[in-house]
Amino acid sequence: MTVQPHEVVLRSTGLVKRFGSIVAVDGLDLEVRRGEVVGLLGPNGAGKSTTIGMVLGLITPTAGTAEVLGRDVRVRREDALAGVGAMLEVTSFYPYLSGRDNLAAIAILRGGGALARVDPLLARLGLAQRGGSKFRTYSLGMRQRLGIASTLLGDPALVILDEPANGLDPAGQREIRELIRELAGEDRGVLLASHLLHEVEQVCDRVLVIKKGKLIASGTLAEVTRGASYFEIVVDDKARAAQIVRGLGVKEIRETPTGLDVVTDPGRGAELNRALASAGLYASAIVPRASSLEDVFMELTETEAPSAPTSS
Amino acid sequence: MPWIMLVLVVVAAFAIYFLIWASTQAQIELIRSGQAPQQGGPTIAQLQETLLIVTPARVQDFGVSVVAGFGSVMLIVFAASHVGTEFGWGTFRTLLAHGASRDGFLASKAVSLVLYAVVFMIVGTAAAIAGSYAVSSVAGLSVGTGVDLAEVARVAAKSGYTFLPYMALALAIAVWAKSAGAGIAAGLVVYFAEGLVATLLVSLNRDYAQIVNWGLSRNASALTRTASGQGGPATQDPTASTLPDPTQAAIVLAVYTVIFLALAYWRLRSRDVTVGG
């Protein structure tokens, strides 16, 4: 996956939202370009949904701006949102209408030929057979699919998906991942907020990790995970090995059942081996490991938020 | 819900016409057969006079007031539900996320409520007219010159106009509380309690009319009293002579409607829309 230098479809600058004394979003800058999928990650209460709410004009920012296709959402909300398809975390439609009629209602609101996209989108999301059934009879997975279908009615340049795979079985989750990549392939920008880190890992070109409303890491997956690569050292005398490794200036050492995990630059394998051997400690194995996004996410979000992003 | 309410008002209009006829006729038969006490009760002549309210010529007095009585309660319920359920279902948030404007949302709700109130009054009044002809036919009453359609329309329009501030109040409370239930409760409490308190206060001291005549119920009563020249519930009000001037009443009701809508508008515009709306 490569990031292409396409038009910016979403840009937020210094977004801040305070609810009384609580700072939900704290000076968030983000950017989504056409053709890329950007993952928005963070633990519960990190400010993901509030950020999406501000981008959609549902929540008024305390400070900062959000622009869609260059249009300030606060100043030209309806114009800006004409280019956005959004699916919120809780998918809500009229329970007494069918899936098709719910889409038709939104299509009428959208205008511009959206009505003609209703049936093709139902088919694309696998709802053609149940399009005539009332929304209240839909399973959680079907509701999610209808929510995703609704985002595409207006042929948007930016698609915002908040937890789109909620309630989907593994096959459904895979379909949604494929669909998200297809959307990027159609030159749309996609902002994906998700708790499913393996999902983000598979579909996103870039990720933004936020905690307590602050951006704590951003970049491509390679950039974000690089800083947290580590060596798995299998050794008997863990205490002495840890002392030697610490003497090399390594700050983060985790004890494991078989030895140590040493978080340091991936190019220091030989140095570690030499230091241990010089001290008469012979490791059974020194294996370079690349942290998964999940490892990085856990590591980043379990520590206090720094004042600046780790990379950008 | 809208269809159910229309069916209900049609059924209610017919049922009340038939009940009035049936109960009055039963009393007349009892008196004729000597089974009813003569002293203190109504005479046959009085009951036959009462029976005339079911004739088509009296639809503007009786039929419209029956429809208005049901309509006021039903339309308060409908107004609150029409808006409140959008928050309960989370569809307000969905609509906004798809580009709908808050102003447009409220305007469309307000316009559709007014249109529904018009349809409700038309259907209800038509049912009352039909009920009147049906009962007159069954009872063998003379239909005379029939229904004065222009007068019925004028009275129905005035009665329908008095619903507006109550509907706007129910809507505003539903917006503020994000709940249909709160809108219904507030609308019905104000509708029943304010009228009761106002009548009680004026009954105790007519000077209180100077104050309560700025409320909703007294102005609504003033308008419905003059809506029909002869009948309607307002004319039975012993404090009717202290009711406000009809023109003032119409203006006060309009001002209340605007204030309630403005409050709903202000709240809707300024609110952050999180989960549920």
Q: Do B99 and A88 touch (CB under 8 A)?
A: no
A149 touches chain B (CB under 8 A): no
- Rounded-to-integer distance, Cα A39 and Cα B164, Å: 49
The residue in chain A having the minimum alpha-carbon distance to the alpha carbon of residue B275 is A90
Cα R_g (chain A), whole angstroms: 23
Tokens of residue B151, six digits:
């007068």
Written as one letter, the residue type at B230 is: Q
Give one DSSP letter per residue of A93-142, joined into a string.
Answer: --TTSBHHHHHHHHHHHH-TTGGGGHHHHHHHTT-TTTTTSBGGG--HHH
A59 touches chain B (CB under 8 A): yes
| Average pLDDT for runs of 10 along chain A of length 312 | 67 92 91 94 87 93 93 90 89 94 94 90 92 92 92 93 86 88 93 85 90 86 71 91 90 86 85 91 87 71 51 38
**Element of type H or E holding A64:** strand A63-68
Nearest C-alpha of chain A: how many angstroms from B106?
A: 14
B93 touches chain A (CB under 8 A): yes
Give residue B163's pLDDT.
Answer: 93
Give residue A152's pLDDT.
Answer: 94
Give residue B125's pLDDT.
Answer: 94
Give residue B183's pLDDT.
Answer: 95
Select from A58, A90, A94 the Cβ nearest to the Cβ of B96. Answer: A58
Q: Do B93 and A88 touch (CB under 8 A)?
A: yes
Give residue A135's pLDDT.
Answer: 95
Select from A89, A95, A106 the Cβ nearest to the Cβ of B89. Answer: A95
Nearest C-alpha of chain A: how many angstroms from B130?
A: 32
B203 touches chain A (CB under 8 A): no
Q: Do B272 and A53 touch (CB under 8 A)?
A: yes
pLDDT under 50: residue ranges of chain B: 230-235, 276-277
Strand order in the sheet with A8-19: A22-33, A8-19, A63-68, A71-72
Give residue B237's pLDDT.
Answer: 61
- Rounded-to-integer distance, Cα A188 and Cα A38, Å: 11
Q: What residues contact A56, with CB distance under 8 A and at least 6 apart?
A: A73, A81, A84, A86, A160, B96, B97
Q: Do B98 and A154 touch (CB under 8 A)?
A: yes
A82 touches chain B (CB under 8 A): yes
The residue in chain B having the minimum alpha-carbon distance to the alpha carbon of residue A60 is B272
Select from B89, B101, B273 the Cβ nearest to the Cβ of A53. Answer: B273
Report the relative pairing of strands A63-68 and A214-220 from DSSP bridges.
unpaired
- Rounded-to-integer distance, Cα A66 and Cα A29, Å: 9
Identify the residue among A19, A78, A92 best suited for mutation to test binding to B, counting B beta carbons within 10 A and taking the highest: A92
Domains of chain A, first to last: 8-83+156-225 (3.40.50.300), 229-290 (3.30.70.100)
Give residue A228's pLDDT.
Answer: 62
Give residue A226's pLDDT.
Answer: 64
- Rounded to two decimals, what is the model's pTM? 0.81
Q: Do B99 and A58 touch (CB under 8 A)?
A: no
Written as one letter, the residue type at B209 is: A
Select from A77, A93, A153 the Cβ nearest to the Cβ of B94. Answer: A93
Q: Do B94 and A57 touch (CB under 8 A)?
A: no
Give residue A308's pLDDT.
Answer: 43
**Element of type H or E holding A173:** helix A170-185
Whether complex ipTM tops 0.95: no
Select from A58, A92, A109 the Cβ nearest to the Cβ of B272. Answer: A58
Q: What SS3 string covers chain B?
A: CHHHHHHHHHHHHHHHHHHHHHHHHHHHHHHHCCCCCCCCCCCHHHHHHHHHHHCHHHHHHHHHHHHHHHHHHHHHHHHHHHHHHHHHHCHHHHHHHCCCCHHHHHHHHHHHHHHHHHHHHHHHHHHHHHHHHHHHHHHCCCCCCCCCHHHHHHHHHHHHHHHHHHHHHHHHHHHHHCCHHHHHHHHHHHHHHHHHHHHHHHHHCHHHHHHHCCCHHHHHHHHHHHHCCCCCHHHHCCCHHHCCCHHHHHHHHHHHHHHHHHHHHHHHHHCCCCCCC
